[in-house]
Chain A
Amino acid sequence: MTTVGLMYLVASLCFILALKGLSSPKYARYGNLVGAFGMLVAVVTAYVHGVVHNGLWILVAIALGVVVGIPAARSVKMTAIPQMVALFNGVGGAAAALVALAEFFAVPDTTVMFRLATVLTVLIGSVSFSGSVVTFLKLQELMTTRPVLLPAGQQLAIAAAVSSVALCALTMAVPNGFLLWLLAVVGLALGVLFVLPVGGADVPIAISLLNAFTGLAVAASGYVLANTLLIVAGTLVGASGTILTRLMAQAMGRSLANILFGAFKATTAAVQGEEQRTVKSGTVEDVAILLGYANNVVVVPGYGLAVAQAQHAVRELVSTLEKRGVAVSYGIHPVAGRMPGHMNVLLAEADVPYEQLKELDDVNPGITSVDVAVVVGANDVVNPGARDEPSSPIYGMPIFDVDRAKSVVFMKRSMRPGFAGVDNELLYNPKTTLLFGDAKDSLTKLLAAVKQL
């Protein structure tokens, strides 16, 4: 027993060091590897000391999990990482709920604390699973990315929340397998109702929160099994996940409550009055001249850049401009891409030097001296409405003030609004030149045109 306890202690320490490492750019990768090592220690210990029978079955299930998990993680495109993380989180939550169910059927008659831990694991695990699946569907655009408001959705959510609490209490009073299954079903419904009204750019925050939920479910399952490792690791993730969720919300300048429940309150977003407004669109040659003879250029990339796989094209254009003596930097919004830090990953993949990546506070103070701000596949992060219009659904989110630059080039596939589904005043600004077309295509043509100058 002592050996087992020691091994679990080693694993717990590895997890703490992993989270610590992942918080600093220098040690992040080691941190992840230390975490993986701790996991290996924990799993081998559990298998060697805890398995009485069914050993072969367990190995088969693990092998299947590896066969499914590794190729999925290896082949996923960097642009699709957020929804992949959501899926992995969801299956973790489901696993926790299943463990608690199985333990309940193995040992149905126990203490009150044990029952409390059981119902909590089943409930939180189910919420995390179904909620994560909905976030996956949203990010994969298999369903609308807008907030979904069911008729009486708020009442339904409250009803589901109340009945889940009631079922928890009932199951604790009268331990009964049927009630526990029912609780799992209500939990699944609650997860769906909870995430449906969360829209667009806020979805990653919901993922982060569900991640913390799964951590808590795992911690609760640790009580069920009286296993300290599960308690420690689950709690670590629950606590750090909560902090991380808050940090993300702060990066967007929003409160968590506003993100989760904002859609219920926002009755009608300001209706756009004029249907037909003029925009100025330019040719590739116009834009090439604008850029080629500028002194100072800021590129603001967004998710559209990543979708078009245009990271390399933009890097080439930037280095060509630099050879002409143009000072170029990238303005990276904290939530550019689909998740905080996502864009940094994508640009690092294209070998963009780290020093060229500038944050909001580095760019905005000097924005008025910028000759051209090039917006590639971004939209919401440069929308002046977030700064000026209290009625805008994204009001309060910090933005790049590119409308204050001397001129703006807006590369866009179409006039469709951004991920948050909000119209962008910048498009109609007389300083703005629109360049329609696929980002990669436009950038390649632009590169050729700049070289011609």
Chain B
Amino acid sequence: MIDLLTIFVLAVFVGFEVVSKVSTILHTPLMSGANAIHGVILVGAILITGSAESTLELVLGLLAVFLATVNVVGGFVVTDRMLEMFRK
């Protein structure tokens, strides 16, 4: 348990550090990109559905897989579309 907590604390600092300086131009794409990254819950959804025993677990899990996939693909695609505009 303490291992997981260590990882959590370190990740907090990394998260603060990577975005501490960012120009306003990139606020929207950065938010959108971070939004896509938390779609990683898809991994959790797949694991939980892959070992589901009851119908309830299966239904909850599959719904989570569906929603998380929308989060992931939608998030990355929409961010890419935004950043495409900056390519000059």
List chain A positions with a Cβ less than 8 A from chain B: 11, 15-16, 18-20, 22-25, 28-29, 31-33, 35-36, 39, 42-43, 45-47, 50-55, 57-58, 61-62, 64-66, 68-70, 72-74, 76, 78, 81-82, 84-85, 87-89, 91-92, 94-96, 98-99, 101-103, 105-106, 113, 207-208, 211, 214-215, 217-219, 221-244, 247-248, 251, 334, 339-342, 344-345, 348-349, 354, 359
Contact = CB atoms under 8 A, between A and B. Distances in A.
A106 B11 contact: no
A41 to B, nearest CB: 10
B26 to A, nearest CB: 6
A55 B71 CA distance: 20
Given A235-B12, A341-B25, A99 B73 contact: no
Contacts of B56: 102, 105
The secondary-structure label for the interface of chain B is helix
Contacts of B4: 222-223, 226, 228, 231
Contacts of B43: 42-43, 45-46, 227, 229-230
Contact of B38 (A57, A218, A251): A218
16 contacts: A19-B30, A24-B26, A28-B83, A39-B40, A61-B63, A64-B66, A65-B68, A72-B70, A91-B70, A92-B38, A106-B57, A211-B35, A225-B44, A231-B7, A341-B24, A348-B85
B73 A69 contact: yes
A70 B82 contact: no
B37 A18 contact: yes
Contacts of B50: 46-47, 50-55, 58
Contacts of B41: 92, 95-96, 99, 217-218, 221, 230, 234
Query: Interface extent on B, as a size class?
Result: 35 or more
Given A65-B65, A233-B38, A234-B38, A340 B28 contact: yes
Contact of B31 (A43, A55, A85, A239): A85
A92 B31 CA distance: 14
B26 A341 contact: yes
A345 B30 CA distance: 13
Contacts of A105: 54, 56-57, 60
A95 B67 contact: yes
A240 B15 contact: yes
B67 A81 contact: no
A219 B8 contact: yes
Contacts of A344: 25, 86
Pick the most buried of B22, B51, B56: most chain A CB atoms within 10 A of its CB: B22
Contacts of B60: 98-99, 101-102, 105
A36 B60 CA distance: 25
B77 A99 contact: no
Nearest to B65: A61
Given A70-B74, A81-B78, A85-B78, A19 B47 contact: no
Given A102-B48, A106-B53, A244 B31 contact: yes
B38 A237 contact: yes
Shortest beta-carbon contacts, A-B, top 3 = A65-B69, A239-B15, A51-B50
Pick the most buried of B20, B29, B31: most chain A CB atoms within 10 A of its CB: B31
Contact of B80 (A33, A45, A247, A251): A33
A52 B39 CA distance: 22
B28 A339 contact: yes
Contact of B46 (A19, A47, A243, A359): A47
Contacts of A36: 36, 76
Contacts of A231: 4, 7-8, 11
A400 to B, nearest CB: 14
A57 B33 contact: no
A32 B15 contact: no
Contacts of A207: 31
Contacts of A35: 33, 36-37, 76
B12 A46 contact: no
